[in-house]
Structure 1
Amino acid sequence: METLAGRAVTRRVPPPLRPPATGGRSAAVLLLFGEGPFGPDVLLIQRSRHGRNHAGQPAFPGGGIDPTDDGPVAAALREAREETGLDPEGVRVLGTMPELYLAHSDNRVTPVLAWWHTPCAVHAASPQEVESVERVPLRELADPANRLGLRHPRGYAGPAFRVRGLLVWGFTAGVLDGVLSGSDFEVPWDRSRLEDIPPDVLSLSSR
């Protein structure tokens, strides 16, 4: 897992996700890997359908960096605790990925990679923000049957995953795709499998 994290930390940022010279809200997300009952997994949340940004989307725990946070690592761990009940004492931070920019929400996001050496029970600890919490096995994410591309009406497309009742797409799927790429978990999949973003999903995301 540390090798997987190391590759992610040094991965170059694609042009569409490069932050602008100025502006944007500083934020952080936690990519928390652990050893679950079905092998190595990653912690994901399903955001509330009533949220203002990225409503209803699967995501990594995270949010804005507050003035009282000691940087992105502290912010990611705090948000994960607030959203899932995670005990930060059971987490070892491995590093951070380069800052990524989400134009839709004007967020400059630092992904924080960590190892869950002492897992604890997690749940939707903040129902107004989170509908559910899921530990998703990496082998299920890498399974070709669970992989596809999603096409936006504006013409661009990106990677996606259908796993554990979740449709993971957008920023979260892009980061997961990058983490899996070149890893021991990567399995060749049909990249010509392309679908339109479901209308209900698109409607929620366009808020």
Structure 2
Amino acid sequence: MSAEPVVRPSWVGPLAAALAEHAEPWVDVLRPAQGARKSAVLALFGEGPSGPEVLLVERALTLRSHPGQIAFPGGAADPGDVDLVDTALREAYEECGVLRDGVEVLGALPAAHVVVSGFDVTAVVAWWRVPLADTPADPGEVAAVLRVPVADLVDPANRVTARHPTGFRGPAFTVAGHLVWGLTAHLLAAVLDLAGWTTPWDDTREVGIPDRYLRDRRPSTLARDTGGPDAH
């Protein structure tokens, strides 16, 4: 698959500047890095027919951890990775076929510690200047690739508060029949805020997290899920 570079959209510069200048907007919600094993996800934005859009993946139902959930592509750092940007780009290629030559990294969010997995997760934010792929490269990990318009994400009709069975409540998005919640939703909300895309929404409107997102096949000692913002 080939594609031509697109003209740099007007939103790219301000987003890059905000990433360089921000002051950890979610520090009171997410746990800061704990010096644990490192991992990275790629928050990849591109220009779509209706403006900016973001790449998300639907995790395969056969996975032991978080099957069927909507997330950013990403995973654990490998010894051969140069840094966490390299990790995020490698994982996006392995999961979605995203070629790094078409990606311009804009910055990163501060690492957040995920208790369930024991990882410190860094979200690398990038612009997809040459969208060279958008289909699952590894169906064993990814069931589907979603390119979701930011306009849909910030639409108040699609923003809700997710309610976990444990009682935790946090921001969430309804996307193409799915619910984006937990760590992914918090990271996504942080980027939307930094970019100035967020619009007012009713955070009192709650939805329960569907059972299909709460099935985890890992041993119970590794998969205790309090439902907090770092749930996945």
| TM-score (structure 1 length as normaliser) | 0.91
Check the 8 A contact 1:56/1:204 in 2, yes or no: no
RMSD over equivalenced CA pairs, Å: 1.9
Distance 2:190 2:145 in 1: 22
- The equivalent position to 1:192 in structure 2, one of 200, 204, 215, is 204
Are 2:88 and 1:76 aligned?
yes
Q: How many residues are paired up?
A: 206
Distance apart, 1:182 and its partner CA: 5.7
Structure 1: give runs of 5+ residues left out of the alignment: none
| Equivalent in the alignment of 1:57 | 69
Larger deviation, residues 6-15 vs 102-111? 6-15
Check the 8 A contact 2:106/2:126 in 1, yes or no: yes
Distance 1:48 1:193 in 2: 29
Are 2:168 and 1:126 aligned?
no
CA displacement, residues 22-47 of structure 1 (integer Å, 9 cap, x when unaligned): 4x321001111110122101110111
Structure 2: give runs of 5+ residues left out of the alignment: 1-11, 224-232
Distance 1:33 1:105 in 2: 26
Check the 8 A contact 2:96/2:145 in 1, yes or no: yes
| Equivalent in the alignment of 1:2 | 13
Distance apart, 1:98 and its partner CA: 0.7
| Equivalent in the alignment of 2:128 | 116
Distance 1:121 1:110 in 2: 23
Q: Sort the Cα spacing of 1:11 and 1:176 in 2 relative to 1 into closer, same or farther, 3 A.
A: farther
| Equivalent in the alignment of 2:4 | none
| TM-score (structure 2 length as normaliser) | 0.82
Distance 1:53 1:204 in 2: 5
| Equivalent in the alignment of 2:114 | 102
- Give the partner amino acid of 2:163: R
Check the 8 A contact 1:5/1:179 in 2, yes or no: no
**Identity level (%):** 47
Check the 8 A contact 2:66/2:213 in 1, yes or no: no
1:130-145 equivalent positions in 2, closer than 5 A: 130-145=142-157
- Give the partner amino acid of 1:37: P
Q: Secondary structure at the match of 1:114?
A: strand
